[in-house]
Amino acid sequence: DQVKAVVLAGNNRVLSAGFDLAIFGSGDAAAGFAMLRDGIELNARLLRFPVPVVIAATGHAIAGGSFLLCSGDHRVGSEKTRCQANEVAIGMTVPQSCVEILRMRLTRAAFQRAVGLAATFTGEEARAAGWLDEIVAPENVLSHAQQVAAGFAATLHTQHHL
């Protein structure tokens, strides 16, 4: 009851690069399936989290990291933030639940380019496409995300958060 908002951030290089491709390539189907299941469950938990989730895209959001990014309620990045669902470029199928997360967040044109063509979106183009809600200076991404979360915590009745 005391937590009113959450900030999720990566490091300065990457928010998340997604799943471990070595596990997928290992031939261990059970391990690959378990990792995929856990990643999809993380996205689902973020989407239904009982308080606002603000994602500080302090670095790139690639592949599974792009689904993680789009699972947040509010997403802050910089002109250097690169967003890409690159599965089609590396011979993988995007899980349907992840396709729906992207469909929910991205504009129609950006969705087609992202899912069908593995297009890369950076900075203002990522914001206009729907990957990000705000662009700030790279050194301010985390602090601004924390300010946004504090604003949500102070003004929202989280028992009604969807």
The CATH number given to 6-156 is 3.90.226.10
Q: Give me the percent of the chain exceeding a pLDDT of 70.
A: 99
What does the pLDDT read at residue 111? 97
DSSP string spanning 13-68?
SEEE--S-HHHHHTS-HHHHHHHHHHHHHHHHHHHT-SS-EEEE--SEEETHHHHH
Using the predicted structure, report yes or no on whether residue 131 has a pLDDT greater than 80: yes
Domain locations in the chain as residue ranges: 6-156
The more confidently predicted of residues 53 and 30 is 53
What's the whole-number mean pLDDT along residues 121-150?
Answer: 97
**Whole-angstrom distance, CA of residue 156 vs CA of residue 63:** 32
The pLDDT of residue 32: 84
Tell me: the pLDDT tens digits for 70-117?
Answer: 999 999 999 999 999 988 888 888 889 999 999 999 999 999 999 999
Question: What mean pLDDT do residues 23-36 have?
Answer: 85
pTM of the model: 0.91
pLDDT of 1 over the 80 cut: no
pLDDT of residue 6: 97
Question: For residue 88, what pLDDT is reported?
Answer: 84
Whole-number pLDDT of residue 49: 95
Which residues, 6 or more positions from 85, have their beta carbon under 8 angstroms from its beta carbon? Answer: 63, 66, 67, 94, 98, 102, 114, 115, 118
Mean pLDDT, residues 147-156: 96
